Amino acid sequence: NAGVTQTPKFQVLKTGQSMTLQCAQDMNHEYMSWYRQDPGMGLRLIHYSVGAGITDQGEVPNGYNVSRSTTEDFPLRLLSAAPSQTSVYFCASSLKQLRKQFFGPGTRLTVL
Amino acid sequence: ILNVEQSPQSLHVQEGDSTNFTCSFPSSNFYALHWYRWETAKSPEALFVMTLNGDEKKKGRISATLNTKEGYSYLYIKGSQPEDSATYLCAPSNAGGTSYGKLTFGQGTILTVHP
């Protein structure tokens, strides 16, 4: 099993550009989530999904969209990047909601 | 959003020392408490998921206890080794309102074990 994979590992964007961070898992997990990690702050939940076709907002959803068309994939879309979105983004999955989460390797995003 | 506090923020110990740190969270509507270990340049890795008051979990030299009535959990490391150096995160979830089913991560305790 590859576990949770994320692409790209690094990305630099200009303000106003859009992009999609990819996340995939091969463990048949129902629950998937996106977090951002900023210096001096804990991991903050952006969006999550309890199954294909179902998504909901986390603590800091503004500026991000998600969809879950398959069990395996949970992409995170930045519609119009802003410098405040410079962060490290982690995708995580678990068998069900509130079971232990498996984290991907992270994507380091810089918005200029 | 739950108010989660972890203390101390950082800790330096010598190899062989035993140590412990604390996670405090609101006791009302408690549902679950997760502990994760996060090594530098890696991703967080789950240590324990605890749900019942009085729960004790153990994994090798690391153990954790849970008090849901007063809203705290302790993580203990016995005989610390340099490879235990990491940030230890706790993340509670409660059973009610808009926080249901969502983990709120604390800022973590950074442990450095010196040889």
Across the range A84-107, mean pLDDT stands at 95
Question: How far is Cα A100 from Cα A84, in angstroms, rounded to an integer?
Answer: 29
**Contact at CB, A106 and B43, closer than 8 angstroms:** yes
Q: Is the pLDDT of residue B98 over 70?
A: no
Using the predicted structure, report yes or no on whether residue A40 has a pLDDT greater than 90.
no
What is the mean predicted confidence (pLDDT) over A12-28? 97
The pLDDT of residue A1: 78
CB of B40 within 8 Å of any CB in chain A?
Answer: no
- State the average pLDDT over residues A69-88: 97
Cβ–Cβ gap B43/A99 under 8 Å: no
pLDDT at A105: 96
- DSSP annotation string for A54-97: EEEE-SS-TTEEE--SSSSB--EEESS--GGG-EEEEEEEESST
pLDDT value, residue B9: 95
- In this model, does residue B97 exceed pLDDT 70? no
What is the pLDDT confidence band of residue B96, given thresholds at 50, 70 and 90? low
**pLDDT, tens only, B37-95:** 999 999 999 999 999 999 999 999 999 999 999 999 999 999 999 999 999 999 998 87
The CA-to-CA distance between both ends of chain A, in Å, stands at 36
Q: How far apart are CA A55 and CA A47, in angstroms?
A: 7
Question: CB contacts < 8 Å between A and B, how many?
Answer: 50
pLDDT at position A35, please?
97
B77: which residues sit within 8 A by CB, 6+ positions away?
A: B18, B19, B20, B61, B62, B84, B111
Over chain A, what is the mean pLDDT?
95
- Averaged pLDDT, A82-103: 95
3 state SS of B82? helix
What residue of B is the nearest CA neighbor of A97? B101
CB distance B46–A100 less than 8 Å? yes
Is A45 a residue whose pLDDT tops 70? yes
Which pLDDT value is given to residue B84? 97
Q: How far apart are CA B12 and CA B18, in angstroms?
A: 11
Residue B99, pLDDT score: 61
Residue A61 confidence class, pLDDT cut points 50, 70, 90: very high
Decide if A97 and B101 are in contact by the 8 Å CB cutoff. Answer: yes
CA distance A14 to B97: 38
Chain B residue nearest residue A38, CA to CA: B107
From A105, which residue of chain B is nearest by alpha-carbon distance?
B43
